[in-house]
């Protein structure tokens, strides 16, 4: 009878110890994960703020007024006019042009392409 | 029996001692024992169940990693903590954003050397005087703001002082990276993130609730083109102010809106009132001959005139003590296209008189010119219309005098006149792709086709020649109105404008430029055709490649035919003579 009680007690003590150990393990794990989550959230917030700052800076740098100013001091590009834009089918094939007008065979390429 | 149980008065009633005597076999004692036994079993079973559940849960939580995802869902990542949503243009270019900046506060009870602190801070915070800082530091509150939204340099300087009792709090500061580019559209907000003007005020609630950006219909590139060209024209003709607007005729979206002088949104507090005033949506003006677009559309749509009708413009009209005369008098009978092309006030007035006040008022109402449009910007002008609407009003309204409307209304109504006859409500927000826009039919498609021809005629051969951008089939109408000053028209002070559209064979965009009091140049009068039209031409030439419109051969037979105005027929003469 006493032997049986002892065996039962030992068994339960082992179970309690195991469960207690497991519980603390889980608790520490949760604490660690919680800290990790906090770190990640802080990182996310910092990255978001950095993204916002970089977006704002990009918008500032790509401001058309600034680009125009830079263009005027370094590149001197001017707006494209309608006359500068043509379509590929507006350019006659040389063979066709020569067939229509044999004199072109010895002439340089026609310059009249765009409207 | 009784002494066996009653031997220890402290013993629990349900405790069953080890049998050391004969077990009770009968009577109330036996019943009591059995009840105790059952209760013990139930209680024990409950405990075992509870412990088993805990053990099972522990094994589940500790033993299997598959629960991670489930737990992760219970703890979503931190929500972005933005006090105000961004504002972007139709291509996603940032126009307004909120950045975290430090603000300086103090707990006066912890600040020891108040006078020294005030002195040191006054050097760092130039907006606040030393006396003011000292007053705040000596207040009996435990929290006072000393400086809001400091620059990184200021923050560093304050930290260098190392004064205890001072601390920083992070606040969202509104930043406008494009400065003055779309000042009147974007607007600005106050230090506590309340919208005070523009879309910042118009959509204040949305901007506070929404996490994603608010997307405008504005295109920053077109906005820049419009702004630089109107600014150039304003400087060249020494105008007091200038306004411009670009609208998509098929959606009512405003692609660019400029009101000069403007101001830097990042320093809105120090802007002058005349710079803050939105001339494109809040200002209402007599726009002059531009109204002939709506007058002609009215007459054509009501069939009181056709393109072949002719009106007598040989001499000025005398009515109610006023004289209506032409700026470019031809002194002969004019056909409807000629009235439009040479901007004859006499002809337009006669067209309107023939159609009558009711028809005129009805058409202007349908075109949205008699009431303020629904629009997202809070700066919205209410048109000034003739009250009462006398016969003379009918005649003057025909050429845009005696009625004041905003450029936004002119843009909407002009869009309707050329897009096939549909009026789309103007908007400053990007319409979702693929969703058909709800419009209202206000003109017949035939009237709209005729209006395209007439507008093209003005640029090809009439008062708007300087608006021509070769290859883009520009059409338009000039407007030159004398500014009303103290109830009289001042001939030296003009509002000169041009409303252009392109390509007229299939209109896509309306471009309006208006200058306030341009000064005439040698060789260039201050009329709409001279000061505003050239700007429209340059704007169209610069914006066409961006919006993907290819130049065409304007003399090709298809385009000629689609925009050809039929020659006046004899019936027209008879109709007008009636």
Q: Which pLDDT tens digit goes with each residue over A11-25? A: 999 999 998 998 899
Q: Which of B359, B348, B288, B341 is nearest to B312 (CA)?
A: B348
pLDDT of residue B139: 85
List the 129-168 stretch of B: residues with Cβ below 8 A of A: none
Which of B58, B79, B221, B540 best tests the A interface by mutation, with the highest count of A CBs <10 A?
B58
Separation between Cα atoms, residue B374 and residue B546, nearest integer Å: 29
Residue B65, chain A, CB below 8 Å: the answer is no
Q: How far is A4 from chain B (nearest CA, A)?
A: 16
Residues B61, A87: C-beta atoms closer than 8 Å: no
Write down the domain spans for chain B: 85-215, 223-563
Residues of B in contact with A81 (CB under 8 A): 469-470, 541
Residues of B in contact with A56 (CB under 8 A): 94, 97, 99, 175, 177
Separation between Cα atoms, residue B529 and residue B420, nearest integer Å: 26
Residues of A in contact with B79 (CB under 8 A): none
Residues of A in contact with B170 (CB under 8 A): none
ipTM of the prediction greater than 0.90, yes or no: no
Residues in chain B: 578
Distance of CA B151 to the CA centre of its chain: 30
Separation between Cα atoms, residue B370 and residue B385, nearest integer Å: 7
Separation between Cα atoms, residue B391 and residue B357, nearest integer Å: 7
Place of tokens 């590009």: A77
Given a cut of 70, the residues of chain A with pLDDT beneath it are 1-4, 104-115
Helix, strand, coil % (nearest 5) of chain B?
40, 20, 40
Give the nearest partner residue to B78 out of A19, A45, A53, using CB atoms. Answer: A45
Half-sphere exposure of A49 (CA within 13 A, CB side): 16
Residues of A in contact with B178 (CB under 8 A): 59-60, 63, 65
What is the three-class DSSP state of B163? coil
Query: What positions of B carry a catalytic annotation?
Result: 289
Residues B80, A48: C-beta atoms closer than 8 Å: yes
Give the nearest partner residue to B97 out of A52, A63, A82, using CB atoms. Answer: A52
Residue A23, chain B, CB below 8 Å: the answer is yes
Give the nearest partner residue to A85 out of B62, B93, B551, using CB atoms. Answer: B551
Residue A48, chain B, CB below 8 Å: the answer is yes
Q: Which of B220, B6, B8 is nearest to B96 (CA)?
A: B220
Residues A82, B179: C-beta atoms closer than 8 Å: no
Separation between Cα atoms, residue B189 and residue B265, nearest integer Å: 9
| Distance set, CA B394 to CA B140, B195, B273, B298, B319 (Å) | 69, 41, 35, 12, 11
What is the three-class DSSP state of B131? helix
- Structural contact between residues B337 and B402, judged by C-beta atoms closer than 8 angstroms: no
Residue B62, chain A, CB below 8 Å: the answer is yes
Residue B552, chain A, CB below 8 Å: the answer is yes
Q: In chain B, what is the straight-line distance between the N-terminal and C-terminal CA atoms, in Å?
A: 136
Residues B177, A81: C-beta atoms closer than 8 Å: no
Separation between Cα atoms, residue B452 and residue B564, nearest integer Å: 10
Residues A41, B77: C-beta atoms closer than 8 Å: yes
Residue B351 backbone class (left: φ over 0; alpha: ψ -120 to 50; beta: rest):
alpha
- Structural contact between residues B426 and B411, judged by C-beta atoms closer than 8 angstroms: yes
Residue B471, chain A, CB below 8 Å: the answer is yes
Separation between Cα atoms, residue B288 and residue B344, nearest integer Å: 11
- Check residue B322 and report its DSSP letter: E
Residue of A nearest to B88 (CA): A59
Beta-carbon count within 10 A of B208 CB:
15
Q: What kind and span of H or E run contains B208?
A: helix B204-209
Separation between Cα atoms, residue B1 and residue B447, nearest integer Å: 119
In a 10 Å sphere around its CB, with 0-12 CB exposed, 13-18 middle and 19+ buried, how is residue B222 labelled?
buried
CB pairs under 8 A between A and B: 92
- Structural contact between residues B541 and A81, judged by C-beta atoms closer than 8 angstroms: yes
- Structural contact between residues B269 and B149, judged by C-beta atoms closer than 8 angstroms: no
Q: Which CATH architecture has domain B223-563?
A: 3-Layer(aba) Sandwich (3.40)
pLDDT of residue A109: 54
What is the three-class DSSP state of B62? helix
Residue A78, chain B, CB below 8 Å: the answer is no
Residue of A nearest to B180 (CA): A65
Which two three-digit tokens encode residue A14? 């082992």
What's the topology of domain B85-215?
Answer: Penicillin-binding protein 2a (Domain 2) (3.90.1310)
Instruction: Give counts: helices (H), strands (E), chain A.
Output: 3, 0
Q: Which residues pair with B173 in a beta bridge?
A: B99
pLDDT in tens, chain B (578 residues): 444 444 555 555 555 555 555 555 667 788 888 899 999 999 999 999 999 998 888 777 666 655 566 666 766 665 656 678 999 999 999 999 988 888 888 888 888 888 888 888 888 888 888 888 888 888 888 888 888 888 878 888 888 888 888 888 888 888 899 989 999 999 999 877 888 999 999 999 998 888 889 999 999 999 999 999 999 999 999 999 999 999 999 999 999 999 989 999 988 888 888 898 999 999 999 999 999 999 999 999 999 998 989 999 888 888 878 888 888 788 899 999 999 988 899 999 999 999 999 999 999 999 999 999 999 999 999 999 998 998 889 999 999 999 999 999 999 999 999 999 999 999 999 999 888 888 999 999 999 999 999 999 999 888 889 999 888 999 999 998 888 766 667 667 889 999 999 899 999 999 999 999 999 888 778 888 899 999 999 999 999 999 999 888 888 888 888 888 764 444 433 333 33
List the 81-110 stretch of A: residues with Cβ below 8 A of B: 81-83, 85, 87
Q: In chain A, what is the straight-line distance between the N-terminal and C-terminal CA atoms, in Å?
A: 114
Separation between Cα atoms, residue B180 and residue B174, nearest integer Å: 14
Give the nearest partner residue to A80 out of B86, B224, B545, using CB atoms. Answer: B545
Beta-carbon count within 10 A of A53 CB:
14
Q: Which is it for strands B333-335 and B310-312: parallel, antiparallel or unpaired?
A: antiparallel
Q: How far is A102 from chain B (nearest CA, A)?
A: 27
Separation between Cα atoms, residue B277 and residue B261, nearest integer Å: 9
What is the three-class DSSP state of B450? helix
- Structural contact between residues B460 and B440, judged by C-beta atoms closer than 8 angstroms: no
Q: Which residues pair with B324 in a beta bridge?
A: B317
Separation between Cα atoms, residue B238 and residue B226, nearest integer Å: 18
Q: What kind and span of H or E run contains B312?
A: strand B310-312
Q: Which residues pair with B216 in a beta bridge?
A: B429
What's the predicted TM-score (pTM) here? 0.78
Q: Which residues pair with B488 in a beta bridge?
A: B485
Separation between Cα atoms, residue B474 and residue B543, nearest integer Å: 13
């Amino acid at each position: 009878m006493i032997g049986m009680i002892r065996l039962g007690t030992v068994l339960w003590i082992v179970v309690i110890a195991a469960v207690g150990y497991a519980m603390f393990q889980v608790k520490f794990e949760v604490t660690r994960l919680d800290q990790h989550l906090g770190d990640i959230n802080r990182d996310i917030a910092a990255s978001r703020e950095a993204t916002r700052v970089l977006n704002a800076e990009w918008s500032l740098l790509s401001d058309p007024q600034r680009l125009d100013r830079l263009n005027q001091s370094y590149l001197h590009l001017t707006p494209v006019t309608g006359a500068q834009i043509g379509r590929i089918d507006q350019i006659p094939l040389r063979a066709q042009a020569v067939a229509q007008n044999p004199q072109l065979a010895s002439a340089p390429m026609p310059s009249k392409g765009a409207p | 029996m009784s002494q066996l149980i009653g031997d220890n008065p402290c013993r629990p009633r349900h405790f069953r001692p080890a049998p050391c005597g004969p077990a009770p076999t009968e009577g109330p004692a036996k019943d009591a024992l059995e009840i105790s036994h059952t209760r013990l079993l139930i209680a024990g079973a409950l405990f075992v169940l509870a412990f088993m559940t805990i053990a099972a849960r522990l094994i589940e939580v500790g033993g299997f990693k598959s629960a991670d995802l489930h737990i992760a869902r219970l703890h979503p990542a931190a929500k972005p903590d933005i006090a105000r949503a961004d504002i972007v243009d139709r291509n996603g270019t940032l126009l307004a954003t909120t950045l975290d900046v430090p603000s300086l506060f103090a707990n006066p009870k912890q600040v020891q050397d108040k006078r020294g602190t005030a002195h040191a801070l006054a050097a760092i915070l130039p907006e606040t005087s030393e006396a003011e800082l000292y007053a705040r530091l000596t207040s009996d509150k435990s929290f006072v703001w000393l400086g809001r939204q400091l620059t990184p340099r200021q923050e560093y300087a304050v930290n260098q002082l190392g004064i205890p009792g001072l601390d920083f709090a992070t606040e969202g500061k509104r930043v406008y990276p494009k400065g003055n580019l779309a000042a009147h559209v974007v607007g600005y907000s106050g230090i506590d993130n309340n919208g005070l003007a523009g879309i910042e005020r118009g959509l204040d609630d949305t901007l506070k609730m929404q996490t994603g950006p608010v997307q405008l219909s504005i295109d920053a590139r077109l906005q820049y083109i419009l702004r630089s060209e109107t600014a150039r024209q304003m400087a060249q003709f020494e105008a007091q102010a200038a306004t411009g607007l670009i609208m998509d005729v098929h959606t009512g979206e405003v692609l660019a809106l400029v009101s000069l002088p403007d101001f830097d949104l990042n320093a809105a507090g120090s802007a002058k009132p005349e710079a803050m005033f939105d001339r494109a949506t809040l200002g209402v003006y007599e726009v002059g001959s531009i109204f002939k677009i709506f007058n002609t559309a009215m007459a054509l749509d009501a069939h009181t005139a056709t393109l072949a009708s002719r009106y007598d413009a040989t001499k000025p009209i005398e009515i109610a003590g006023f004289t209506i005369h032409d700026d470019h008098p031809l002194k002969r009978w004019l056909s409807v296209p000629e009235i439009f092309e040479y901007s004859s006030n006499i002809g337009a007035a006669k067209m309107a008189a023939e159609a009558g006040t009711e028809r005129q008022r009805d058409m202007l109402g349908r075109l949205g010119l008699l009431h303020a449009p629904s629009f997202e910007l809070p700066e919205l002008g209410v048109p000034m219309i003739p009250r009462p609407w006398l016969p003379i009003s009918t005649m003057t309204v025909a050429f845009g005098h005696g009625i004041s409307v905003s450029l936004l209304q002119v843009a909407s109504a002009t869009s309707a006149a050329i897009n096939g006859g549909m009026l789309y409500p103007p908007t400053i927000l990007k319409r979702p792709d693929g969703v058909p826009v709800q419009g209202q039919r206000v003109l017949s498609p035939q009237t709209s086709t005729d209006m395209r021809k007439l507008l093209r005629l003005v640029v090809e051969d009439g008062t708007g020649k300087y608006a021509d951008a070769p290859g883009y089939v520009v059409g338009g109408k000039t407007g030159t109105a004398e500014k009303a000053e103290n109830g009289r028209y001042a001939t030296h002070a003009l509002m000169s404008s041009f409303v252009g559209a392109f390509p007229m064979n299939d209109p896509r965009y309306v471009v309006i430029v208006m200058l306030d009091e341009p000064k005439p140049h040698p060789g260039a009068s201050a009329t709409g055709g001279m000061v505003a039209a050239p700007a429209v031409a340059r704007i169209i030439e610069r914006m066409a490649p961006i919006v993907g419109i290819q130049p065409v051969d304007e003399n090709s037979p298809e385009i000629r035919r689609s925009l050809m105005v039929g020659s006046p027929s004899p019936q027209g003469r008879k109709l007008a003579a009636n």
